């Protein structure tokens, strides 16, 4: 599962951070590995990344804890091309396995990553991983077993007691993975009862 934070909503919006986690969608367990990097704003212009004024104003209006995800004393920001190389390396590992890339929506996060890969002149992920991108809302609801209110209830349970920051790409990716696990678990239990 991956998540991005950006200073824009268009495909060339300035990428702020990338977070991801490796998880088993069929088991209710914590992710087995995580990834997080912050992009150095100084590199945005060089690669044609744009800051949207409305999105910047939205970030500026957020509480200090949310704005803090834009900077981290523990993580040194890296240039955009390096952030994308690091993410690509984390996803592909030794290159022997093709991971399915899950995201919160099938449009925003995937488009941001794909366009940014092109912006920094990197090849897209091998094995057409983005064609396998899954929307965490589409899969459970497409079964006809899970209704929107069931998914909303699962999301509330995941968020209860969650210590992660909102709009922190890694924390959001972990929450989204847990929602996916809960929805698949719910689906499998309902199917067993039928």
What whole-number distance in Å separates Cα of residue 147 and Cα of residue 129? 28
Which residue has better confidence, 164 or 32?
32
- Residues 88-144: pLDDT tens digits? 889 887 665 556 788 887 778 888 988 899 899 987 765 455 544 566 667 667 777
pLDDT digits (tens, 9 = 90+) for 146-164: 777 877 787 788 777 677 7
CA–CA separation, 63 and 133 (whole Å): 32
- Once rounded to an integer, what is the mean pLDDT over residues 183-192? 76
Question: How many other β-carbons are positioned within 10 Å of the β-carbon of residue 100?
Answer: 13
Q: What is the pLDDT of residue 127?
A: 46
Q: Are 81 and 111 in contact (CB under 8 A)?
A: no
In the chain, the domains with their CATH numbers are 2-193 (3.30.420.10)
Q: What is the pLDDT of residues 54-75, one digit of tens each?
A: 999 999 998 887 788 777 777 7
- Torsion, Cα 101 27 145 164, to 10 degrees, reads -70
Q: How far apart are CA 16 and CA 140, in angstroms?
A: 30
> C-alpha angle 145/148/153, rounded to 5°?
100
Residue 191, pLDDT > 50, answer yes
Helix boundaries (H) for the chain? 53-61, 64-67, 80-92, 108-119, 138-142, 148-159, 169-193
pLDDT of residue 101: 80
Reading the block at residue 150, the tokens are 């069931």
**3-class state of residue 174 by DSSP:** helix
pTM reported for the whole predicted model: 0.86
Q: Which two tokens stand for residue 144?
A: 């006809």
């Amino acid at each position: 599962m991956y998540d991005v934070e950006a200073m824009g909503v268009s495909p060339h919006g300035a990428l702020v951070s990338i977070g991801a986690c490796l998880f088993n969608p069929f088991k209710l367990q914590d992710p087995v590995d995580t990834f997080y990097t912050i992009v150095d704003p100084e590199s945005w212009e060089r690669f044609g990344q744009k800051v949207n004024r409305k999105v910047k104003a939205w970030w500026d209006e957020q509480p200090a804890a949310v704005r803090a995800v834009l900077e981290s004393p523990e993580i040194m920001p890296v240039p955009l091309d390096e952030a994308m190389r690091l993410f690509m390396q984390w996803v592909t590992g030794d290159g022997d396995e093709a991971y399915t890339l899950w995201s919160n929506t099938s449009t925003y996060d995937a488009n941001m990553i794909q366009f940014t890969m092109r912006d920094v002149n990197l090849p897209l992920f091998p094995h057409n991983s983005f064609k396998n991108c899954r929307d965490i809302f589409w899969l459970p609801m497409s079964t006809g077993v899970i209704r929107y209110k069931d998914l909303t209830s699962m999301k509330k349970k995941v968020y209860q007691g969650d210590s992660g920051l909102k709009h922190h790409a890694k924390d959001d990716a972990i929450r989204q993975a847990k929602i996916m696990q809960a929805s698949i678990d719910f689906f499998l239990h309902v199917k067993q009862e039928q």
